[in-house]
Amino acid sequence: MVYLDYSATTPVNIDVLDTFNKVSTGFIGNPNSLHKLGVESKNLIDASTKQIANILKVNEKEIIYTSGASEANNMALKGLCLRYQKRGKHIITTHFEHSSIYGPISYLQSLGFEVDFVETDENGIINIDNLKSLLRDDTILVTIGAVNSEIGILQPINEIAKIVKENSQAFFHSDFTQLIGKKECSLDNIDLISFSAHKFFGIKGIGVLVKKENVDILALIHGGKSTTKYRSGTPCVALIASLAKALRIANENLKFYKDIKDNNNYLKEELLKINDVKINSNEKCIPHIINISVLGVKPETLLHALEEDEIYISTQTACASENSYSKAVLALTNDEERAKTSIRISLSYKTSKEEIDIFIESLKKNVNNLRMDKNENN
């Protein structure tokens, strides 16, 4: 098997799973309970939170546990905008965000919020001057993801955060789901940060919203004691401990960034040898994600053909209608054909050159076969 879909989800690290199992059986008390077992569970949560906060260089009180990045994004956008709506109802974002950003934005629009999309350059990087021009007295929120999940575009988040702070009273949120655990990053000047454990070899079902102390939000889930007033419900001790473990390991594995970049360069060189393959990811993208378009081949058909060879990639248009396309690729390339035929290959420190070779050979074979079938049917 060749797994090249790490940006969708990562396999659980065996040490992380071991932590989850040990905590599940060894810490059975509800952390909200006052007896000894409850206190032991709460103490483990507190220790885990301290580790996470130290790695991220934030305050422990700023950590809010969620079920994942989608909940964290919803909590950040809805919670903040509804809390401060008397100050303004203007939101700024980009055309490269995840659906868990667009979903709550659409909901907020139904409540009367206004949305502007900041312009981007040929590499998908936001135009700072345009961002400045869009900022208004009633701008309540700017939400721009650190890394686009489909193409891998890495935004200059710290520069953006500084611009927002210096030129407005708006709050700044960033979805760090595709950056945490992959590259060193700073959370300075960012009011709200979202991420999920399963993107860096953690367990599905646990994520974080970092909410800086000077920011307030309305809770989405009410009732019941928890680790914070912003998210009610019995905390899952095992998931929280496993998140801390996964983040520690991911932080240690940042040293493999150059190896991933080398594999990225090698893969691109091989892809360029295949006719009608266009690489959509550019030099401004993280090396973990390579988005390509195979012109003349339906992405969902190619995905399933590769699956027959036990090779796993991703596409945003799988099982979609003939008129579907990748909005992110279209926004970047302004090419509808490339937007309709895009697929995503995502790497990790576990990816080997041998796996890339296997993928390339299978891709060549399947692309040729699919084009032959198409010509025969025409």
What positions carry a catalytic annotation? 319
- Does an H or E element contain 277, and which? strand 277-279
**Burial environment of residue 36 by CB neighbours within 10 A (0 to 12, 13 to 18, 19 or more):** exposed
How many Å apart are CA 201 and CA 182, to the nearest integer?
11
Of 198, 186, 148, 192, nearest in space to 316 by CA: 148
**How many CA atoms, within 13 angstroms, populate the side-chain half-sphere of residue 134?**
25
Classified as helix, coil or strand, 287 is coil
The residues pairing with 114 across neighbouring beta strands, listed in sequence order, are 90
How many Å apart are CA 168 and CA 135, to the nearest integer?
6
Classified as helix, coil or strand, 71 is helix
Largest Cα separation within the chain, whole Å, is 73
How many Å apart are CA 281 and CA 20, to the nearest integer?
36
How many Å apart are CA 114 and CA 250, to the nearest integer?
38
287: which residues sit within 8 A by CB, 6+ positions away? 152, 257, 260, 261, 263, 264, 265, 347
Number of Cβ within 10 Å of residue 333's Cβ equals 20
Distances (CA, A) of 7 to 11, 79, 288, 290, 345: 11, 27, 8, 10, 8
Per the CB < 8 A criterion, the answer to whether 355 and 345 are in contact is no
Per the CB < 8 A criterion, the answer to whether 271 and 293 are in contact is no
**Helix %, strand %, coil % for the chain, to 5?**
45, 15, 40
The token duo for 331 is 């926004």
